[in-house]
Amino acid sequence: QTKHYSPSVSGYSLKNSGDSYVTYSMMSKSFPASHYVRNGSATYTVYYVKNQSTTIYYKYSNGNTAATSKTMTGNPNNTFSVTSPTITGYTPSKTSVSGKYGSASQTVYYYEKTYTVSFNANGGSGAPSSQTKSHTKTLTLSSTKPTRTGYDFKGWSTSSSATSASYSA
């Protein structure tokens, strides 16, 4: 069957996405009652709806812009889904945002990741208490040194089986 494609109209979407093209079988047909005259008509109406927009803002917890905002524009009868951008060292309040086009704007907040640094005296005693490190800030390790009979403390490592220290107290 021949397909007749629906025209694009700037700022509008097809109300029914199935109307992107029209075929003869989709049309309403009307033929006169006469057996001699076969002239008739066939029609199909395509409806459009005005596109609507929704903006997604990406901000740090302090309110500063974390990433460029995204404006989603489309048919208000349809939904969108957008994955939040990845920002190293930060966790988004929403990993994705979805909704209908034209819905209220949404804001995704990014919170700085924190890490717990804990100390293992590796058979000794007197290890310092755990410390919290923020991703963007330098952490000065505790100056507390553990003790272990027969050993000299050389520093800290990320593995209890390390043979050399990666960090000093």
Distance CA 37, CA 6 (A): 30
Sign of CA dihedral 69, 71, 72, 77: positive
Helix (H) or strand (E) holding 5: strand 4-5
What digits encode the pLDDT tens for the residues 27-67?
A: 988 877 766 666 778 899 999 999 999 999 999 999 999 99
Output the pTM of the full model: 0.71
Query: Residue 37: what pLDDT?
Result: 65
* pLDDT band for position 163 (cuts 50, 70, 90): confident
What digits encode the pLDDT tens for the residues 120-148?
A: 999 999 999 999 999 999 999 999 999 99
Note the Cα 82 to chain centre separation in Å.
5
Query: Residue 38: what pLDDT?
Result: 67
